[in-house]
Amino acid sequence: MTQKVWDIIHILKAQYPDALCALHYKKDYELMIAVRLSAQCTDARVNLVTPALFSAFPSLDAMANAPIPVVEEYIHSCGFYRQKAKDIILACQMLRDVYGGKVPATMEELLKLPGVGRKTANLLLGDLYCVPGSVVCDTHCMRICGRLGLSQGREPEKVEQQLRAVLPPQESSDFCHRIVLFGRDICTARSPKCEVCPLAIYCNEVNQVS
């Protein structure tokens, strides 16, 4: 790993000591549901929606047996609610019927769940099982890591592989959570606060302008 990568990691750690997932959950499968709802939706909106959803269907079995139209009503404001409701119920049924009620701990098994792609799988592996090398490649991650010269392109799977090659495996999951916080707080998509950015020295865009 290069010194630049470690410097970036240490700066982000100082800026955001608690590398916590922004989504609220109490049970493992609730995190799976929350991540599915977060697609094309803000984490803040998901956190407003899930308390009522989880209260209405308080167990995995209850969620697996939930009527799709009722779930649609609870998650309507998250967007793409029809597909999300179907995926959530089918995934919960699969957890119950195939995986003994537990969220799987391998990428291969997670990707078999309806609505679960690599981004979701990596987040679940990192947060639930602390699997080293878990890289959650969302829009914040791709934008910021591109600016920092840690990755190239906008294809999530390619950027994920690039980051796996440069990030220390034990740091990768927390790094991705901190990048999300950094992307909301300072390195925003439209109006980045370059004048107060602690990573400006490593940013290709800032240094090109300079």
What CATH number has the domain bearing residue 125? Answer: 1.10.340.30
DSSP H or E stretch at residue 13: helix 3-15
pLDDT of 197 strictly over 70: yes
pLDDT at 1: 56
Query: What is the token pair recorded at 206?
Result: 């800032």
pTM of the full predicted structure? 0.93
pLDDT tens column, 10-52 = 999 999 999 889 999 999 999 999 999 999 999 999 999 999 9
d(CA 178, CA 15) in angstroms, rounded, equals 9
Choice among 84, 87, 127, 138 that is catalytic: 138
Active site residue 138: yes
pLDDT at 210: 45
Residue 149 has pLDDT above 70, yes or no: yes
CA distances to 65, 68, 82, 122, 173 from 152, rounded to whole Å, are 43, 40, 34, 20, 19
Query: Do residues 15 and 86 both lie within one domain?
Result: no
Residue 209 has pLDDT above 80, yes or no: no
Assigned token pair, 39 = 């697609």
Query: Domain with 151 in it: what CATH number?
Result: 1.10.1670.10
Tokens 């803040």 sit at which residue?
44
Q: In terms of domains, do 110 and 148 share one?
A: no
207: confidence class by pLDDT, cuts 50, 70, 90 = confident
Domain boundary (67, 97, 129) is at 129
- Domains: count for the chain: 2
Enclosing H/E stretch for 177? helix 172-185
What integer is the mean pLDDT of 132-160?
Answer: 94
Total Cβ atoms within 10 A of residue 183: 19
Q: Considering the chain, what percentage of its residues have pLDDT values greater than 90?
A: 92
Q: Considering 109, 129, 149, which residue would you say is the last residue of a domain?
A: 129
Higher model confidence: residue 1 or residue 132?
132
61 classed as catalytic: no
Catalytic-role residue among 84, 119, 127, 174: 119
Structural domain that includes position 49? 28-129
Whether residues 36 and 82 fall in one domain:
yes
What is the sign, positive or negative, of the torsion defined by CA atoms of 182, 183, 186, 192?
A: positive
Tell me: do 14 and 50 sit in the same domain. no
